[in-house]
Amino acid sequence: MLDVIDIIARSRTALKKAFLSLERAAGEMGLRIYEIKTKYLTTRESKNQQSYFQIKNFNFEAVQSFKYLGSLINVNNDNSAEIKKIILMANKGFYG
């Protein structure tokens, strides 16, 4: 079974602290975090954005967008593509 957890933080320090708490709690229950399936996205553009975010021995890949609970999330906080997709699906349902 695979569970999806979203950690939202205002800073890298807060993100690191939240992740370490999650890792500790998961470990106490015999669960582990799969580094390969864990991604990292920032909503602020940065000239020197790293391609990975490292916490302890974990290296999380930085991505420009990903699908979360069926919705597309991206670095620009631009949801116009998602809105167009929903309108298209509604039109197909109405006219189909």
Q: Report the alpha-carbon distance of residue 20 to residue 30 in Å, rounded.
A: 15
- pLDDT one-digit tens code per residue, 37-54: 888 887 766 666 677 788
Average pLDDT value for residue range 51-76:
82
Domain ranges (residues) in the chain = 1-63, 66-96
Summarize the chain as % helix, strand, coil (round to 5): 40, 20, 45
Highest mean pLDDT of the ranges 25-29, 32-36, 47-51, 69-73 = 25-29
pLDDT the model gives residue 46: 60
pLDDT the model gives residue 72: 79
pLDDT the model gives residue 71: 78
Q: Report the alpha-carbon distance of residue 43 to residue 66 in Å, rounded.
A: 12
